[in-house]
């Protein structure tokens, strides 16, 4: 296997700018990034450095002005919105800072949402939901609604929803940003397990240095440029 | 969980709002069901035949036609049968208790229109026994509490008797049921020879001839032929189908159909504005969640379908309750109201429900489609 084939996420000369009040605000200008399959990367940086824009482009919910965004064999920048949506449903899970659970659905129904897009029977969906809820430590809480759960529990539901369709890539946007230290440590341990045991490729945006230490390597983004890379001690 | 389940959860996420919307929709469809049932039933026009023709004076309904017109009318080759009718309108006991008496030759009426009125040989035989006997329609008999053998007096508004009085006394010989539930049976049938002999004026005239066309001719063609036959006579005619005849008769008082359509239209336009407005707000509140669904991979088709199913759920539930209440009202209302909740009322109501749910869902659905995910996330 060549080095090029090992690369799972690749950004090539990506540029992005926003127009705000008639002014052009550049975010990236020729940004490059390569992440191999099975890696766990934390991206840190000050507010406005472009972390969220990077995550949005990798998720296919925002597009670069120039350059290429390639994940696996797919070039997201070449796909239409519908194709990117379908690609997300099958290959990617997203964990949000504020969980983003639907309040009128219980834990099991929230987790089941991505499976509605797959050709699975009700029984197959139920089995998968039970399995991932068990995996994140929420067995027995299937019928609880988000409003009845702590932040940590809601984030576990969010992670279960992100992995229930068995995607290869997890994008995490400040997954511990709204949690106390103990809950945050639980979530980070879970992400490490998903990476090390299940082989998920994880890219996590965070402000929390302790969270970043759980990743295999940490990239520092400042003013749209990766300025530093740190690898975790083996 | 299914998409339907998800749409239902969305629709009921604010129960009070959902219930108020459904009450609003149910009220609109109750109005629709009652007014269209009224139109279909009490007016009797829905059951009136398009094939039976009514021949009246071209000068208007208040002008009678001479009985002498019967022979030339019956001589027209395409005429299969002719009956004649004189109407006596009056009241029983109190002036607001209005009833109508159609005086006819029973054998001819049986031949031309007996089936739709539900006349039977036994009823005809009962009428033969005395000249002052009448057949009472089921709706009128039930409303007045009349029974066979009872004697009733009708005080006529216009038709005076030779003795100067206006009280017409009859003995009830039988009750006719009408062919269907929507047949107008809120009147009675007297013998023409009795009314004609006793009335002070207008003897040997009729208010209308009732014509049954032969099978070979279209009613419209025969109507034109009859009017042409009498065009240059002393009594020119105007010939219409029974349905047109009844509708025109009712329009003398008011264009009930137009009033009903305006009332129903106003109710539905108001409903449409309320529901569209509410749904747009409801969807706008959920912009963030729609962004989440799109991020999870839900396509535009999924999102639009979810919103349309959600509005359909509210409409079908609320509208169904409204139509059910209208059906119950039609079952329990007195026959004098003549409400007939026919299958046509139900089918048209269901079609309006589906149409309105798609129309009200379309605007919020399009609005949801236009929201980029990035913008949706900024709404939190």
Distance CA B202, CA B292 (A): 82
Instruction: Note whether residue B50 is domain-resident.
Output: no
- Give the number of A-B residue pairs with CB atoms closer than 8 Å: 63
Same domain (yes/no): B7, B131: no
- CA–CA separation, B70 vs B187, rounded Å? 24
Q: How many helices (H) and strands (E) does chain A have?
A: 8, 10
Nearest by CB to A86, which of B2, B299, B374?
B299
Residues B280 and B346 reside in one and the same domain: yes
| DSSP annotation string for B7-23 | HHHHHTSSHHHHHHHHH
Specify whether B40 is located in the same domain as B100.
no
Give the ipTM.
0.87
**B92: in domain:** yes
Average pLDDT over residues A105-112: 94
- Residues B72, B40: one domain? no
Average pLDDT over residues B281-309: 86
Q: What is the DSSP letter of A193?
A: H
The DSSP line for A95-155 is E-TT----TTS-HHHHHHGGGGGS---HHHHHHHHHHHHHHTT-TT-TT--GGGS-HHHHH
Q: Is residue B240 part of a domain?
A: no
How far apart are alpha carbons B375 and B380 in whole angstroms?
10
For residue B80, pLDDT beyond 60: yes
Q: Where a domain ends, among B235, B265, B282? A: B235
Q: Which of A86, A88, A105 sits opposite B9 (nearest CB)?
A: A105
Domain assignment present for residue B11? The answer is yes
**Residue A111 φ/ψ, nearest 5 degrees:** -65, -35
Q: What is the CA radius of gyration of chain A?
A: 18
B313 and B304 in contact (C-beta within 8 Å)?
no
Q: Where are the domains of chain A?
A: 3-229
Interchain CB contact of A51 with B (< 8 Å):
no
Arithmetic mean of pLDDT over chain B: 86
Same domain, B191 and B322: no
- Domain extent for B31: 3-44+255-378
Residue from A52, A74, A102, A167 to probe the interface with B (highest B Cβ count within 10 Å): A102
- Domain presence at residue B54: no
Using pLDDT thresholds of 50, 70 and 90, give the confidence band for residue B286: confident
Same domain, B102 and B148: yes
Closest CB to A117 among B5, B297, B373:
B297
B65 plus B39 within the same structural domain? no
Question: Is residue B283's pLDDT more than 50?
Answer: yes
Chain A: residue nearest B9 by CA? A104
> Same structural domain for residues B78 and B116?
yes
Same domain, B185 and B118: yes
Measured between alpha carbons, how far is B203 from B28 in angstroms, rounded to an integer? 50
Q: State pLDDT tens for residues B235-253.
A: 999 998 877 777 666 666 5
Contact of A175 with A140, CB cutoff 8 Å = no
Under CATH, which number does the domain A3-229 receive? 3.40.50.300
Q: Are strands A40-44 and A201-205 parallel, antiparallel or unpaired?
A: parallel
Q: pLDDT of A73-101, one tens digit each?
A: 888 888 888 888 888 888 899 888 888 89
CB contact under 8 A, A82 and B299: yes
Q: Cα angle vertex B275, ends B272, B280, to 5°? A: 120
Overall domain count for chain B: 2
Which stretch, A8-22, B186-200, B333-347, has highest mean pLDDT? B186-200
Kindly state whether residues B271 and B186 are assigned to the same domain.
no
How far is C-alpha A221 from the geometric centre of its chain's CA atoms?
A: 17
**Residue A1: predicted pLDDT:** 41
Distance from the Cα of B319 to chain A's closest Cα (Å) equals 25
Q: Are residues B364 and B334 in the same domain?
A: yes
Chain A hits for B380, CB-CB cut-off 8 Å, are: 98
Do B166 and B84 share a structural domain? yes
Q: Which segment of B39-53, B138-152, B285-299 scores lowest on mean pLDDT?
A: B39-53
| Any domain includes B213 | yes
Q: Which of B1, B296, B380 sits opposite A89 (nearest CB)?
A: B296
- The pLDDT value recorded for residue A98 is 82
Using CA atoms, how far apart are residues B49 and B126, in angstroms rounded to an integer? 26
pLDDT at A2: 45
Q: Could you give the CA distance from residue A163 to residue A146 in angstroms, rounded to a whole number?
A: 18
Other CB atoms within a 10 A radius of the CB of residue B303 amount to 18
Percentage with pLDDT > 70 across chain B? 93
């Amino acid at each position: 296997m060549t080095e090029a084939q090992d690369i799972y996420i690749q950004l090539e000369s990506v540029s992005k700018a926003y127009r705000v009040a008639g002014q052009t605000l550049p975010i990236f200008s020729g940004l490059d990034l390569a992440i191999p399959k099975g890696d766990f990367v934390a991206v840190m940086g000050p507010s406005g450095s472009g972390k969220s824009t990077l995550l949005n482009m990798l998720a296919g919910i925002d597009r670069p002005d120039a350059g290429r965004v390639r994940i696996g064999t797919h070039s997201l920048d070449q796909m239409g919105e519908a194709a990117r949506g379908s690609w997300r449903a099958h290959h990617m899970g997203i964990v949000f800072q504020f969980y983003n659970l639907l309040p009128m659905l219980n834990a099991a129904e929230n987790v089941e949402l991505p499976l509605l897009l797959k050709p699975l029977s009700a029984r197959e969906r139920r089995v998968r939901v039970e399995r991932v809820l068990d995996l994140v430590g929420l067995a027995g809480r299937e019928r609880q609604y988000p409003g009845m759960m702590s932040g940590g529990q809601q984030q576990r539901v969010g992670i279960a929803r992100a992995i229930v369709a068995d995607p290869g890539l997890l994008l995490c946007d400040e997954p511990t940003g709204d949690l106390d230290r103990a809950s945050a440590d639980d979530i980070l341990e879970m992400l490490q397990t998903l990476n090390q045991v299940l082989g998920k490729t994880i890219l996590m945006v965070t402000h929390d240095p302790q969270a970043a230490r759980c990743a295999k390597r940490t990239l520092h983004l400042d003013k749209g440029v990766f300025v530093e890379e740190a690898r975790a001690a083996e | 969980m299914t998409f339907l389940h998800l749409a239902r959860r969305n629709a009921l996420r604010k129960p009070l709002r959902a219930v108020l919307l459904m009450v609003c929709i149910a009220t609109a469809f109750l109005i629709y069901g009652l007014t269209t049932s009224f139109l279909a039933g009490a007016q009797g026009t829905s059951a009136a035949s398009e094939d039976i023709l009514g021949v009246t004076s071209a000068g208007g309904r208040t002008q009678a036609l001479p009985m002498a017109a019967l022979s030339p009318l019956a001589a027209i080759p395409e005429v299969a049968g002719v009956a004649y009718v004189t109407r006596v309108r009056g009241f029983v006991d109190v002036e607001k208790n209005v009833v109508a008496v159609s005086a006819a030759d029973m054998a001819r009426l049986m031949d031309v229109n007996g089936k739709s009125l539900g006349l039977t040989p036994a009823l005809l035989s009962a009428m033969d026994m005395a000249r002052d006997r009448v057949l009472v329609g089921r709706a009128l008999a039930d409303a007045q509490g009349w029974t066979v053998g009872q004697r009733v007096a009708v005080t006529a508004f216009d038709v005076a008797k030779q003795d100067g009085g206006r009280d017409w006394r009859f003995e009830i010989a039988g009750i006719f049921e009408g062919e269907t539930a929507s047949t107008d049976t809120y009147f009675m049938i007297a013998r023409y020879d009795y009314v004609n002999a006793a009335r002070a004026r207008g003897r040997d005239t009729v208010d209308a001839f009732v014509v049954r066309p032969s099978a070979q001719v279209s009613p419209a063609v025969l109507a034109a032929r009859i009017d042409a036959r009498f065009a240059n006579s002393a009594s020119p005619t105007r010939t219409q189908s029974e349905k047109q005849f009844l509708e025109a008769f009712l329009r003398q008082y008011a264009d009930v159909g137009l009033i009903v359509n305006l009332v129903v239209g106003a109710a539905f336009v108001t409903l449409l504005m309320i529901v569209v407005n509410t749904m747009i707000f409801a969807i706008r509140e959920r912009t963030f969640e729609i962004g989440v669904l799109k991020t999870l991979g839900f396509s535009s088709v999924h999102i639009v379908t979810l919103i349309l199913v959600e509005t359909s759920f509210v409409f079908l539930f609320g509208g169904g309750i409204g139509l059910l209440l209208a059906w119950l009202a039609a079952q329990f209302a007195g026959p004098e109201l003549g409400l007939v909740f026919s299958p046509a009322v139900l089918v048209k109501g269901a079609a309006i429900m589906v149409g309105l749910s798609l129309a009200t869902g379309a605007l919020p659905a399009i609005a949801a489609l236009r929201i980029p995910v990035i913008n949706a996330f900024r709404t939190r």
